[in-house]
Every structure is written in C-alpha cells, then in structure tokens.
C-alpha cells in the first residue's frame, strides 16, 4: 500500500495512542505516574481519550471527519500533558514526548484543515 507521509504520521500517532491508552489501564508504572502528578482521578479519562483518539485516527482513513476530531482532541490532550509536565518540573527530557505528540497531532489537524478550506 502506498501511503503519503501524512498518512504514515497518522498511523504512527494512532498506534502510539492505542498503546499509551492501554498502558493507562494496565501499567502500574503509569498508575504511579498519575499519582505522582496528583491527577490520579483523571487516569481513566485520559486512557479513554487516548484510546478514542487512536481509534478515531484509524477510522479517519474511511470517514475523514474522524481525522479532524481525533487530531484536534489529541492535540489538546498532549498540550495539557506538556503543561502538566512543566508544572510538576519533570524537566525537558520527560516533557518532550508530550510536546512531540502535540506537534504531530496539530500538524495532522492543520494539514487536514488545508484540504477542506
């Protein structure tokens, strides 16, 4: 199958969020991180949002509106994650993944917006 570079980015992002969404439910380390961040009450919501966003990006290959909605939602989620990492003083290396995922999902979102405007 011949995918465009943006489609490869969408595949990468969707698989990443499916993985991290599952970790939110299954990983003791992730549960401990949410406790450390003092937001343990949001762990399930974040996990569901990650899984929903990952699935939405995949569905977006067939129903493009899902690409728009999912990339926007994941961008917001990762921007908030980045801000949280800064607030808890996690440092640059621990903060970079959330910034990276914010940027690639914002890129997916704005790239999609260019195609419909």
- With residues binned 3-state (H G I as helix, E B as strand, rest as coil), the percentages for the chain, rounded to 5, are 85, 0, 15
Domain layout of the chain by residue ranges: 5-116
Token pair in block for residue 115: 């195609």
Is residue 49 within 8 A of residue 79, CB to CB? The reply is no
**pLDDT at residue 79 greater than cutoff 80:** yes
Element at 53 (helix H, strand E): helix 43-59
> What is the rounded average pLDDT of the residues 84-104?
96
Q: What is the pTM of this model?
A: 0.94
pLDDT in tens, 18-61: 999 999 999 999 999 999 999 999 999 999 999 999 999 999 99
């Amino acid at each position: 199958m011949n995918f465009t570079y943006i489609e490869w980015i969408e595949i990468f992002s969707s698989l990443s969020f499916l993985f991290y969404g599952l970790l939110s439910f299954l990983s003791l380390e992730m549960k401990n991180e949410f406790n450390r961040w003092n937001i343990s009450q949001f762990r399930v919501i974040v996990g569901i949002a990650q899984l929903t966003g990952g699935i939405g990006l995949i569905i977006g290959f067939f129903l493009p509106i899902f690409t728009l909605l999912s990339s926007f939602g994941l961008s917001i989620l990762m921007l908030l994650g980045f801000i949280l990492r800064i607030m808890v003083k996690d440092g640059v290396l621990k903060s970079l993944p959330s910034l990276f995922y914010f940027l690639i999902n914002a890129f997916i979102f704005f790239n999609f917006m260019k195609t419909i405007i």
